[in-house]
Structure 1
């Protein structure tokens, strides 16, 4: 007999996590699922996540969002990558640019041919073969699917946007499709005395909201998963020691860069994120190595424009829930864990959680094997993102502060050590189980942070050097010709998606 379907879904908490969850599930399941979202206007959201990575395009496309309209409503700009400054040593710069590096030649990845030429004295940069990098540094952008006159891919983009405006935009669409929003504070969570499943949440005014399935989108508090169900938390601060962030909006600087900046400082790093109407700024730091007053001064002294509000402090513990799905509750967003925003993964982890939920949507039987597979897949994703972020810290060459020395000398996860060892010995990078970051992403950070392989793939020697030199020159030429015709980032926004005054929703 087929198990009874889930009929009532209750989402606890709004913000980006709550409204992304509501919008996708109502879009996919429509009238078959009664969705209620409860949130309180009195409870603020963290709301500093303003940078994204390319998979968000898929999410927005599933929702049927018009990209220009979405950008206008969220004060959005385009993002081609993340520039890292001072991470290897003070004065160093490199970019984790989206999109491919070069073009495969035969059965060997492109970077092996670049390594071969570098070992023979060629001085060209790896990023000479990244169209995204070249466009980003020239402050240019256009929607370019492929290079003109070529089958090579064009630009790969994500977005910078105001996360609060994005949540508001998704809320409007969700409510139009039937999601019911309830205003109020939750004061009690009722559990079944026999099964331990959540039966209902009780609001301050006595309203009782029953559900078959509950999503915990309550942020750091983790009202359902942490407080009610007592699911533990894995603390990763021994690998990622930053535990504070100071955030402040400011006027934009002189350039509307189509990329995020990550600038390393004495005991952490600073983000700069350009929106149409302002810049998002923050300083992520380790409180064991710098005081809050000192960290605030570092941030305020490194703004490009005048501050638009008072700085505020966020406290966090990097890590993840021991389970993301337990009984009839799933944690989404900050209630499930926190990964510092170095590689702009916070919004993506919301996306991947709710997409996996849609793919593994339960019945009232709540099969344990389904829950276990969800936890296994999301746990793997968290751990590989964790490793990628640790890589930035661990491979620094800075000697100017104890913080960076500690990061360089710390023991790291075995999974990351293996990846680094394989690369430094052979130049090889393998992407496992469709993990988030591609081989080209790992390549750019490892090369950018100063790792150099001892060798390259033998197949790279099978191409005559003059042929290889011509091949590389042709790639650079294709990129330069494409860049010539691209408008500036600012001009493209003005022509297609300028926000002006954001209308009230």
Structure 2
């Protein structure tokens, strides 16, 4: 038994998105059984660039009981149907990774095998013609489609102002009974026998005690690293970008319902549309760009007026060896960092807290609980890591040393195996609990230029004429709703007035 006392009080160090998601979800689900106190200081800024999300955030908001219209209004949020990747395969090329299901799969036969047999997969652009999310993203359309037919389901996520989201969750959490304490940590008090954290002593002299501590102190990792020295697994040999510059700009006249990811010669640029502004940034390798070169590239590739000077963020891609150690759990940037190429940063916060809820050590912390938490965290980080590496490694770009290095690098065996299976005949197998479904791996592999050599033999159970007629019908079904939907901006204007 690592901590034999029942967990009656949880202390969260750090606010921001990580801290307030942790506070809101734990208090909502655990109620009066556990007291929660969050310690933060307004003098410490947050990174605040994680403005794009993926669909599981809807589950989080639903569990919390958040009204979607109010949420969109309060956080200046927009709808996200997809990410558009530009210049990743080669200069001038683009493809989408959407949240939708492409086509319609048959029993034991994924849709792309039918498309391959009919010759449509050899022209990669054909794949997305069977995706409603893509069609609506290109047309700038969105509305909630009320249909029981899953073929026209349109999953979505959000772009939002992370700072406003944290403020929104703070108000929500405090109404539930979370106690917020303002202050900077002067000292961390540990048990002399076990090394577990017992209290935080603030500069004001106030002492905040607890049974379980959640470290949301950002890259610093004040508890998990500075105090408990858990160590860090460095993945920068695979994901070489180690810096980012972020700058807000004025909003566009029309709000795109997708994120843009634009590859440059040593990194990539994000463009995220919000209701009140745009989020822009450049993720880059400092071994290939100086900070000034990066700033010049970023500022010359924004298309609306900047609202501030670029903000520099330094990071090291990787993860804590132990994200739960003794009675401390690292959440958010304190637990590790994976660049926001696939908008997974906020999801990793959500996932970490949900994992804690499932394994919550009500009667005390045991080795088995901690080991299971760390095992699941490790697998989750590694699966997302592989998906990000795929974008960099599978490319036809040779126009810079950065991209030549990416093409030539050794990749994890787990990723090499996935690529080989797909290259052979389009086989896609989702690892257990992998965040990304087969449809995501399909879009990125095909988008980056991997076209399977063959298709699965079950596609031969149907005649070519039948397959071609089926493809034609599916394409028509997918395209039919687009013309009937309002524009993204029209949807936001109407919907945000609801739920007041």
- Structure-1-length-normalised TM-score: 0.96
Aligned to 2:216: 217
Q: 2: distance between equivalents of 1:118 and 1:218?
A: 52
Query: Which whole-Å deviations, capped at 9, do the CAs of 1:11-63 have from their partners, x for residues lacking one?
Result: 00000000000000000011111100000000000011100000000000000
- Listed as ranges, the matches of 1:23-422 within 5 Å are 23-118=24-119, 125-146=126-147, 150-422=149-421
SS for the counterpart of 2:288 is coil
- 469-478 or 159-168, larger mean C-alpha shift: 469-478
Q: Quick check: 1:146–1:155 contact (8 Å CA) kept in 2?
A: no
Q: Spell out, residue by residue over 1:321-366, the C-alpha distance to the aligned partner (whole angstroms, 9 max, x if none).
A: 0011011010000000000000000000000000000000013531
Closer/same/farther in 2, CA of residues 469 and 72 from structure 1, 3 Å limit: same
Q: Which moved more, 1:111-120 or 1:15-24?
A: 111-120
Shift of 1:178: 0.3
Q: Distance in 2 between matches of 1:56 and 1:105?
A: 29
| Secondary structure of 1:125 counterpart | helix
Quickly say closer, same or farther: Cα 1:41–1:301, change in 2 above 3 A. Answer: same
Task: Give the superposition deviation at 1:367.
Answer: 1.1
The structural deviation recorded for 1:255 is 2.8
Structure 2 CA distance, aligned partners of 1:486 and 1:94?
23
Q: Deviations for 1:52-105, whole angstroms, at most 9, x for unmatched residues? A: 000000000000001110010000000001000000000000000002111112
SS in 1 for 2:395: coil
The CA deviation at 1:451 is 0.5
> Does the 8 A contact of 2:7 with 2:364 survive in 1?
no
Q: Deviations over 1:192-231 (max 9, x none)?
A: 0101111111100111111000000000110000100011
> For 1:118, what is the secondary structure of its paired residue?
coil
- For 1:434 and 1:78, the matched residues in 2 are separated by 25
Using the alignment, how far apart are the partners of 1:386 and 1:459 within structure 2?
Answer: 32
Contact 1:59 1:351 in 2 (8 A): yes
Instruction: Describe the superposition over 1:380-408 as per-residue Cα deviations: whole angstroms up to 9, x where unpaired.
Output: 01000000000000011112110110011
1:124 CA drift (Å): 6.5
Give 1:479 shift.
1.6
Tell me the CA shift for residue 121 of structure 1. 7.3
Contact in 1 for aligned 2:120/2:127 (Cα 8 Å): no
Give the CA deviation at 1:119.
7.0
Structure 2: stretches of 5+ with no match in the other structure: none
The yes-or-no answer on 1:446 pairing with 2:458 is: no
CA distance in 1, matches of 2:497, 2:240: 39
Deviation, 1:254, is 3.8
Matched residue SS, 1:105: coil
Find the aligned partners of 1:465 and 1:412 in 2 and give their Cα distance: 38
Tell me, yes or no, if the aligned pair for 1:49 and 1:163 is still in contact at 8 Å: yes
Partner in structure 2 of residue 492 of structure 1: 491
**Equivalents in 1 of 2:261, 2:146: separation in Å?**
27
Asked whether the 8 Å contact 1:246–1:296 carries over to 2, the reply is yes
Residue number in structure 2 paired with 1:433:
432
Change (3 A) 1:405 1:122: closer
C-alpha distance in 1 between matches for 2:256 and 2:162: 19
Runs (4+) of structure 1 moved beyond 3 Å? Answer: 119-124
Structure 2: distance between partners of 1:126 and 1:311: 37
**Distance apart, 1:120 and its partner CA:** 9.3
Query: In the TM superposition, what is the alpha-carbon distance from 1:153 to its structure 2 partner?
Result: 3.9
Residue 442 of structure 1 deviates from its aligned partner by 0.4
Change (3 A) 1:120 1:228: closer
Residues 165-187 of structure 1: CA deviation (Å, up to 9, x unaligned)? 00000000100110000000001
Q: Deviation at 1:113?
A: 0.6
Q: TM-score, normalised by structure 2?
A: 0.97
**CA 1:464–1:337 in structure 2 vs 1: closer, same or farther (change >3 Å)?**
same
Does the 8 A contact of 1:145 with 1:153 survive in 2?
Answer: no
Q: How many residues align?
A: 497
What runs of 5+ residues in structure 1 fail to find an aligned partner?
none
Whether the aligned pair in 1 keeps the contact of 2:122 and 2:451 (CA below 8 Å) is no
